Structure 1
Amino acid sequence: MMILAVSTIAAIVMALAVFTIRMKASKKPATLKKIILPPFFMSTGALMYVFEPFRLSGTEIVEAVLLGMFFSIFLIMTSRFEIKEEQIYIKRSKAFVFVLLGLIIVRTLLKFILSSSVDVGEIGGMFFLIAFSMIVPWRVAMYVQYKKLERNLMKPKETVAM
């Protein structure tokens, strides 16, 4: 039970960090590197599956991936870019805070429900996979949006002949 409480607190702290980073990021131009790198950095966490306690069954993998992809829809819906001063910025969204809070609440409830029937290691493996399956589609969508706006910025400005 102690591990469950500590991991829940850690998840809340991480969510607050994500929110803070997101607010700061909206003040600086977005870059492809800032969009693409987080899933790569996060992917190192998959090394946990080398150890037996974290390994998942096929059913658990499918469930975690589908749930993560479902959650990513809400992140995608609240992540938009805009062009300001000939640069691309992420738009601030009030809904993002509520989506993030909702995801934390759902994640915490699922963790408490699953903790009575699933081993702690497997829960860790499942929640990593949920998070990874959530961040990858979200970042792919952000990449596509960014590239679309970037193409618009690259178009030569039409001059009006008089």
Structure 2
Amino acid sequence: MDRRRFLKRSGVALASTTLAATPVAAAGDGDAPNDQVETTLVSPVGDDFTVPAGSWVDHRLGWVDRHEPSKRAYIEEYLEKLNFISYTIDGEPVENPDDYWNEPYVNENDYWTIYWEYTTPPVDPGVHEVAWTIEYEEPIDDGDRVFSGGPYTLSSEFEVVPGKKGNGKGKN
């Protein structure tokens, strides 16, 4: 684990600089204000998404270790080898994107899993773009495929539509 991740996980505050003049605003910490607000999932991986107007937008992506047996150590290895360059919403970067990884857990299929999740307040109706730029400092194997090199940018669009039900998943 690199020094920055070690310090972050140890609870040591890190000073950082941002390249963006106008970073994306969230609910202060990238979370919805409470479990009662409607959220709709969007991701730069997969199809485009529809979000109902007024819904908070839950930006999420993840890594599932598919080794048999699955081990938490593979999740730690993934985080060590991943260089998370940026996550942008309509071209505006999320500040300190490494701060939004959840704790690894075992999913319903007994695979270790980790998600990156950042929730934003509702946005205006129309088409919006999300993009995730990463690179791998060393090859990493998820049990099915090997990922290496980069940088890679994955992107998709989501459309905020008044009076419609979204096709993203709600908050779980």
Category of TM-score, reference length = shorter chain: under 0.3
- Structure with a larger share of its residues in helix: 1
Q: Which has the higher contact order (CA 8 A, sep 6+)?
A: 1
Provide TM-score, normalisation by structure 1.
Answer: 0.26
Provide TM-score, normalisation by structure 2.
Answer: 0.25
- Structure with a larger share of its residues in strand: 2
